[in-house]
């Protein structure tokens, strides 16, 4: 059982790291603000979610697991909000040109 | 072991690279972004050194509050382009470079010539920290042995705020700082500013509370509370308060004043400034943290809000 959980952790965290890598590549390679934001927020949210999922079997106690999930939810909501604000600003600047 | 070593090496190289970028980049905005990134990376360094308390403070103060302050300063500087374009002369830059090199060499020499094992007071301190009844040795040292430093830190915050307020024009003294929200509506931000504060306040208070037994404390928790207040102000849900309000000023002074009174009481009761009577050390320390938290939070929020520049009725 614990071996299966360890395998789950390794797989999930590796997948999360892959999404972080993909998001970073997108941030560096995509042509404009909106596509870069798309790469960053989608990949980071999913990447962090997978890392948290992988860490969940490794924490002892429900409180630690709850804290990890709260961290993920907080970053999801702040990432979504900041992406909206940056995109809004970018659209205003694009229109004024 | 090798993985950890490689990670530490990569971390150290990245920190140095970001620091170089921060100093050398020409655009102010990019320099501020680099500075915040530098703060976050240094926090990871502190975690690697097992100093989680310091890491939390680093993230909250340098990554958070100072970042916001510098971004605000960058925005105000745009209005004075001429002043920004003015560069310091070659002699001045050379003097700064020489000074930094001397400081670096002195520090490097000091670190490299440390006796091994380094002289330390840690074991006797750790042995007598039990007297405070606190699980977190950092809080024990900060509010037990080095209480005078912590008291002065809170006073320095207050002095910084007085410094910010003192640059307000005479006619708007007693008024309000500029609104922190921009003119256009940002629905996502308004929604976020309604959603997050209940969660953020609980987390801020929790971090103050666990400070007695785990990494955390009034500066870290107070910064989170201040951030929630700033979020509400930036979304335009609340105006920055008028600096003339006596309740607000009382809140600012309450923390340091209470700390100071406890110190004087220690002089009368236990025979030393900031000496706590032994059986009550833990409750007194917790009480000081609780009273200081709102003062720290309000001071940080007002520091970011800036000097009063408009009439209180606006």
Residue B34 is predicted with a pLDDT of: 93
> pLDDT value at position B84?
54
Shortest Cα distance, chain A CAs vs residue B190, angstroms: 10
Q: Is A84 on the interface with B (CB under 8 A)?
A: yes
Closest residue in B to A89 (Cα–Cα): B186
Q: Please report, for chain B, the start and end positions of each structural domain, with discontinuous segments joined by +.
A: 1-86, 121-314
Domain boundaries, chain A: 2-96
Partner residue opposite B189 with nearest CB, options A74, A85, A92:
A85
The answer, yes or no, to whether residue A29 has pLDDT greater than 60, is yes
Task: Kindly list the residues from chain B whose CB atom is less than 8 angstroms away from the CB atom of residue A81.
Answer: 188-189, 191-192
pLDDT at A97: 73
Give the pLDDT confidence score for residue B203 in this predicted structure.
92
| Residue B245: predicted pLDDT | 86
- Residue B41 confidence (pLDDT): 94
Evaluate if residue A61 carries a pLDDT over 60. Answer: yes
Residue length of chain B: 314
| pLDDT per residue as tens digits for the range B204-226 | 999 988 887 778 788 889 999 99
pLDDT per residue as tens digits for the range B135-157 = 777 777 777 777 888 888 889 99
Residue B158's pLDDT is 92
Average pLDDT of chain A to the nearest whole number: 88
pLDDT tens figures, A2-27: 888 889 999 999 999 999 998 889 88
- Is the pLDDT confidence value at B159 over 60? yes
Residue B70 has pLDDT above 70, yes or no: yes
Q: What was the pLDDT predicted at B42?
A: 94
Percent of all residues in chain B with a pLDDT value above 70, rounded to a whole number: 95
Cα–Cα distance measured from residue B249 to residue B239, given in angstroms and rounded to the nearest whole number:
17
CB B292 within 8 A of CB B154: yes
Cα→Cα distances B244→B163, B165, B225, B226, B250, Å: 16, 11, 22, 19, 11
CB B305 within 8 A of CB B233: yes
Least confident of A33-37, B82-86, B278-282: B82-86
Highest mean pLDDT among A52-56, B114-118, B272-276: A52-56
Q: Is residue A91 within 8 angstroms of chain B, CB to CB?
A: no
pLDDT per residue as tens digits for the range A63-80:
889 999 999 999 988 888
Tokens of B160: 């910084």
For residues B169 and B309, is the Cβ–Cβ distance under 8 A? yes
Averaged pLDDT of chain B: 85
**Per-residue pLDDT band at B314 (split at 50, 70, 90):** low
| Residue A76, both tokens | 């999801």
Can you tell me the mean pLDDT for B234-248?
Answer: 86
**CB-nearest partner of A88 from B186, B192, B196:** B186
Best-predicted range by mean pLDDT (B118-127, B144-153, B290-299): B290-299
**Nearest by CB: A77 against B184, B186, B192:** B192
The complex's ipTM? 0.84
Mutate to test the interface with A, among B7, B184, B188, B216 (most CBs of A within 10 A): B188
Question: Would you mind telling me the total number of residues written for chain A in this entry?
Answer: 97
Alpha carbon distance B146, B132 (integer Å): 13
In this predicted structure, the answer to whether residue A57 has a pLDDT above a threshold of 90 is no
Stated as kind and residue range, the H or E segment containing B108 is: helix B90-112
For chain A, how long is the longest CA-to-CA vector? 60
């Amino acid at each position: 059982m614990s071996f299966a959980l360890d395998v789950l952790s390794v797989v999930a965290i590796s997948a999360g790291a892959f999404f972080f890598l993909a998001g970073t590549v997108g941030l560096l390679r995509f042509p404009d603000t909106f596509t870069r934001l798309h790469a960053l927020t989608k990949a980071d949210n999913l990447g962090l979610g997978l890392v948290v999922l992988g860490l969940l079997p490794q924490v002892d106690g429900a409180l630690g697991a709850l804290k990890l999930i709260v961290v993920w939810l907080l970053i999801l909501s702040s990432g979504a909000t900041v992406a909206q604000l940056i995109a809004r600003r970018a659209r205003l600047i694009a229109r004024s040109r | 072991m090798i993985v950890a070593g490689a990670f530490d090496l990569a971390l150290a190289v990245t920190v140095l690279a970001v620091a170089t970028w921060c100093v050398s980049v020409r655009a102010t905005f990019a320099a501020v972004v680099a500075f915040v990134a530098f703060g976050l990376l240094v926090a990871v360094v502190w975690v690697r050194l097992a100093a989680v308390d310091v890491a939390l403070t680093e993230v909250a103060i340098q990554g958070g509050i100072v970042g916001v302050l510098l971004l605000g300063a960058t925005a105000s500087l745009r209005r004075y382009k001429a002043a920004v374009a003015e560069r310091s002369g070659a002699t001045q830059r050379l003097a700064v470079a020489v000074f930094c090199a001397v400081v670096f060499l002195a520090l490097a020499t000091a670190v490299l010539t440390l006796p091994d094992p380094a002289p330390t007071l840690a074991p006797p301190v750790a042995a007598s920290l039990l007297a405070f009844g606190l699980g977190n040795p950092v809080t024990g040292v900060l509010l037990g042995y080095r209480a005078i430093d912590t008291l002065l830190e809170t006073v320095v915050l207050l002095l910084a705020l007085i410094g910010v307020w003192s640059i307000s024009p005479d006619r708007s003294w007693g008024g309000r700082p500029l609104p922190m929200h921009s003119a256009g509506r940002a629905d996502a931000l308004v929604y976020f500013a309604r959603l997050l504060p209940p969660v953020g306040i609980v987390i801020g208070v929790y971090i103050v509370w666990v400070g007695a037994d785990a990494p955390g404390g009034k500066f870290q928790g107070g910064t989170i509370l201040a951030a929630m207040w700033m979020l509400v102000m930036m979304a335009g849900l609340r105006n920055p308060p008028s600096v003339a309000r006596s309740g607000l000023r009382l809140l600012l002074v309450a923390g340091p004043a209470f700390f100071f009174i406890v110190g004087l009481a220690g002089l009368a009761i236990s025979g030393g400034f900031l000496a706590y009577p032994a059986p009550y050390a833990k409750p007194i320390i917790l009480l000081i943290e609780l009273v200081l938290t709102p003062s720290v939070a309000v001071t940080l929020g007002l520091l970011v809000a800036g000097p009063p520049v408009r009439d209180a009725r606006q």
